[in-house]
Structure 1
Amino acid sequence: MKYLRLRDELLERLRAMAPGEPLPPERELARQLRVSRTTLRRALDDLVSTGAVRRRHGAGIFAVGPKIVQPLTATSFTEDMRARGMRPDTRVIEFGVVLAGARLGRRLEVSPSAEVVRALRLRLADDEPMALEMLHVPAELVPGLDAETLGEASFYQLLAERFGHPVVNGRQSIEPTVTDHDESELLTVPLHSPALLFERTSRDADGQVLEFVRAVYRGDRYRIETEISLLPVVAPGLMSGLA
């Protein structure tokens, strides 16, 4: 029970801290909380493993801030961050035009020889890296699109207002993963950190595929939330009248 109270007290303290703010040194924190350093270290290790804090070797332990709730709906990262009072930013790491090939052609429902705009984007909120997205778009749908334009505006807004293809629906899968070397470096997290892998295909009102996106979101900064509903229970005595 003492350990659980300590963990709750640390979490309460973290809620009042800004992202990136350091906790006091271990010796001082143990004195403040009136626990042994061994017990404190165990609690901090648990918080590091769940993503509540980040340990920087030689520098200490830092708050990461509350996790961002990601609903199971297609949303614009830019508008989503603005709605949360955060400042969104996008850095285009790679940008070019490639041939679709067989696998990507199937995803985008285009010929393997069709040209595809491919862009690797680092998404940030208040200057903190949040996600890494590899975007694929049939080149014929976005004539004249360049890296500078893509880095300055919401892609969904560009699709709708500049290219006349508003996103109407799509399909998205989510699975747990860990970051590789390049992802860890760009997201500023340790190698093999927990992450969420999103794969999304979006369509316009005519059913045309507009994009295929593969995105890695930091597991320490995101959690998935959805609403559920239960089907009404049919009384056994009524079942005989149902076909």
Structure 2
Amino acid sequence: MTKYHNVRDQLLDRLDQMSAGDPFPPERDLSQELGVSRMTLRRAIDELVARGAVRRRHGAGVFALGPKLDQPLLASSFSEDMRARGMRPGARILAFDVLAAGARFGRRLNMDPLAEITRVTRLRLADDEPIAVEELNVPRDLMPDLVAADLEDHSFYDLLRERLGISVRRSVQTIEPTVLDSDEARDLHVPLHSPALMFERTSWGPEGQPIEFVRSLYRGDRYKIRTELTVPTITAEETS
């Protein structure tokens, strides 16, 4: 193992004992403590920044980000997911519009392109930290009285149950890597072109009615995907 890799691993061990927002010691002190040059230390920290384990703040130092939030591939709302982690979910409205669905959203929601949808763009928060930018598209006739205030710090799925007595029964979701544009980076408090995970999800209700099409951008430095894989059991008959 090279000296650089050894330093990186020592920093990772240190991070295991730190909380989000805790600072590293000053660069000069840390390099002396680890017995390496400041150049080697910077290289190791650069990798931790790229991994999303720490953040540099110009003129202030290097700070721990805490462990990434892992997203299980289950049908649950952002609010439910955050509460299950013991975190406080939140949402701030960035835009609220009523407009024609158009060809793309008409296909997604199985509706006439000229029919109206309600589009709500929200900044999703966990313990007041920006985590994702979410664009929610809902058929206007499903919930014609929906207003922006309804979704400020409130789950859309909870709203469906409370007002209409319905729940999501099926969803199809895709996930792909992307980078953030200037507006998205500004809202999420990260640099331009930072890595992100883009989720696109279409959901249907118990009668097969389209409920939503959602496009969400999650910070790549704060989110990861978790899947549970089961190895099938091979019987004696199958091996014979």
**How would you bin the TM-score normalised by the shorter chain?**
over 0.9
Corresponding residue for residue 127 of structure 2:
126
Larger deviation: 184-193 or 163-172? 163-172
Larger deviation: 72-81 or 12-21? 12-21
Measure how far apart 1:14 and its partner are.
1.6
Match runs of 1:74-85 below 5 Å: 74-85=75-86
Corresponding residue for residue 153 of structure 1:
154
Corresponding residue for residue 27 of structure 2:
26
Match runs of 1:31-110 below 5 Å: 31-110=32-111
Match runs of 1:152-171 below 5 Å: 152-171=153-172
RMSD: 1.6
Partners of 2:90 and 2:154 within 8 A in 1: no
Measure how far apart 1:21 and its partner are.
2.3
Deviations 1:162-206 (A, max 9, x none): 123311111000001111111100000111111100000011111
Measure how far apart 1:99 and its partner are.
0.7
Q: TM-score, normalised by structure 1?
A: 0.93
Larger deviation: 150-159 or 9-18? 9-18
Corresponding residue for residue 113 of structure 2:
112
Measure how far apart 1:207 and its partner are.
1.1
Deviations 1:83-129 (A, max 9, x none): 21111110010012111011111111111111100010000111110
**SS of the residue 2:187 aligns to:** helix
Deviations 1:5-59 (A, max 9, x none): 3212211212222222221221111122222111111100111111111122222
Partners of 2:195 and 2:220 within 8 A in 1: yes
Amino acid across the alignment from 1:28: D
Q: Tell me the distance in 2 between the aligned counterparts of 1:132 and 1:212.
A: 14
Partners of 1:81 and 1:88 within 8 A in 2: yes
Larger deviation: 57-66 or 183-192? 57-66
Indicate yes or no: 2:234 matched with 1:226: no
**SS of the residue 2:108 aligns to:** helix
Q: Tell me the distance in 1 between the aligned counterparts of 2:150 and 2:133.
A: 18
Calculate percent identity across the aligned residue pairs. 59
Structure 2 residue runs of 5 or longer lacking an equivalent are none
Corresponding residue for residue 9 of structure 1:
10
Corresponding residue for residue 188 of structure 1:
189
Q: Tell me the distance in 1 between the aligned counterparts of 2:239 and 2:175.
A: 39
Q: Tell me the distance in 1 between the aligned counterparts of 2:60 and 2:17.
A: 21
Measure how far apart 1:146 and its partner are.
0.9
Q: TM-score, normalised by structure 2?
A: 0.94
Partners of 2:89 and 2:153 within 8 A in 1: no
Q: Tell me the distance in 2 between the aligned counterparts of 1:81 and 1:87.
A: 6
**SS of the residue 1:135 aligns to:** strand
Structure 1 residue runs of 5 or longer lacking an equivalent are none
Q: 1:189 to 1:238 in 2, by over 3 A?
A: closer
**SS of the residue 1:214 aligns to:** strand
How many residues end up aligned between the 2 structures?
Answer: 239
Partners of 1:160 and 1:167 within 8 A in 2: no
Q: Tell me the distance in 2 between the aligned counterparts of 1:162 and 1:19.
A: 38
Amino acid across the alignment from 1:218: R
Q: 1:90 to 1:232 in 2, by over 3 A?
A: same
Q: Tell me the distance in 1 between the aligned counterparts of 2:231 and 2:83.
A: 33
